Amino acid sequence: MNAPAPVEVQPARPTRVLVAVTLGNILEWYDFAVYAFLTAVIARVMFPAGNATVSMLLSAGAFGVGFLTRPLGAMLFGAVADRRGRKRALLLTFAMMGGATLAIGLIPGYATLGIAAPLLVVLARLLQGLATGGMIGGATALLIEHAPPGRAGYYASWQAASQAGALLLGALVAATVSATLAEGTLLAWGWRIPFWASVVIVPLALYIRRRVDEPNAFVSQAPAKSSPLVVLWQTQRAAVARGFGITIIWTVTTYFFFVYVPLYAHTVLALPMSATLFSNSVALACMLVIAPLAGHLSDRVGRTRVMLTAAVGIVTLVMPGFAVLLAHPQTAVLVGLQVVSAVLAALFIGPAPAAIGELFPVGVRSSGMGVAYNFSVTVFGGFAPLIATSLVARTGNPLSPTWYVIGCCGLSLLVLLLTLRKSSPARG
């Protein structure tokens, strides 16, 4: 009897994978980020206190705790992605994310549940962090491993662009809700609408992600003999450290300029929430466009060259830009500051996913990327709004948050200058 002819497997079309992964990422990051744009409202509903600053600190802290479980999620779901498949890990993370987001929209307020309300919000944020921690490694690995030769920077840049797209979607939804509903309605139930959207988002994102094939580079590798985490510890510690350092600018600029600044402009500078969210939306739209262009540029001239230019620009301009906003607290000035910040951030963030992902071999890429990114996010980025708010409260100096940005970005810049090795064909 003749053996059956082997079945020829058609490779996935890279463009289809790019679109599917990007859309799935936008929907998942939206679920995590929408809390940030409604922090001021959630503070009044879930974290009431006699002092408005204390309420804001508590609500910003609840935003930050979502980052505490992200390293655990990176280790747990990164191992799943490296051993059982990137696709399976991404389906699991999104199901968890959607459930936690919907829960936030359903939890009764402090007036009804008392202390149980903020505790349940914190629990939901911890679950969101667990899911988000497991997502970035698998998604970035899919993009890099499906990219045509010499285009990894462009393809992986859509990981960063999808984060900007998710923040943009969250800002637009929050702006629409805050602009169209009366304050009483917004506080009573209107703020919950963006969270209820998970009822639609979860099935859509799961459908999109189920249509993505595993990359050939992953399928063709030999079965791992050790846990990806063991391999990382034994052979990839230096790569994890470099990835950690690179991520600092990525995360601090994102959460400072596009989470804290609009919150600060509303609560301290007294600009209308609709105006701050509009400004944020314009800036994030710029980032969404520029990040892929920066990734493409890094394929041609090298990751390091593009990222160094952006890092120097951020460190140099953040304090003067913030000073201008304080001197002229107007919507137009806020838009200008955020657009310039978006351009510089996108120039760094666009090449960053490929620069980090390429530090690791295929067998531990999801785990390595996830661990490096999420530990850095937890240490430096997630609590950036809380740290910035605390600095202003403690020092009385409205420019003090820029000290944090300069210090963190300077550290990341030092990592780039001293330790980043170019592991891709496009060398910087």
pLDDT band at 9 (very low <50, low <70, confident <90, very high): very low
pLDDT over 60 at 422, yes or no: no
The three-point CA angle 111-113-115 to 5° equals 95
Least confident of 107-116, 166-175, 281-290, 417-426: 417-426
CA atoms within 13 Å, Cβ hemisphere of 188: 5
Could you give the angle at which helices 14-37 and 198-210 cross, rounded to 10 degrees? 160
User: Is the Cβ–Cβ distance between 190 and 44 less than 8 Å?
Assistant: no
Give residue 330's pLDDT: 92
Percent of the chain beyond pLDDT 90? 34
pTM: 0.83
* pLDDT tens sequence across 287-306: 999 999 999 999 999 998 99
pLDDT band at 56 (very low <50, low <70, confident <90, very high): low
Return the amino acid letter for 392: V
Distance of CA 379 to the CA centre of its chain: 14
Give residue 1's pLDDT: 42
Nearest alpha-carbon partner for 125 in 203, 38, 232: 38
pLDDT band at 154 (very low <50, low <70, confident <90, very high): very high
Give residue 77's pLDDT: 94
Ranges of each domain in the chain: 14-218+225-418
Least confident of 148-152, 174-178, 203-207: 203-207
Give residue 49's pLDDT: 62
Q: How far apart are alpha carbons 305 and 416 in whole angstroms?
A: 10
End-to-end CA distance of the chain: 57
Indicate the length of the chain as a whole number. Answer: 428
Give residue 370's pLDDT: 94
pLDDT band at 247 (very low <50, low <70, confident <90, very high): very high
* pLDDT tens sequence across 78-121: 999 998 888 889 888 888 888 888 898 899 988 888 888 888 88
- For the stretch 269-284, what's the b/e string if a residue is b when 16 or more beta carbons lie within 10 angstroms of its beta carbon? bebebbbbbbbbbbbb
Q: Is 48 left (phi over 0), alpha (psi -120 to 50) or beta?
A: beta
CATH number of this structure's domain 14-218+225-418, picked from the four choices 3.20.20.210, 3.40.640.10, 3.40.30.10, 1.20.1250.20: 1.20.1250.20
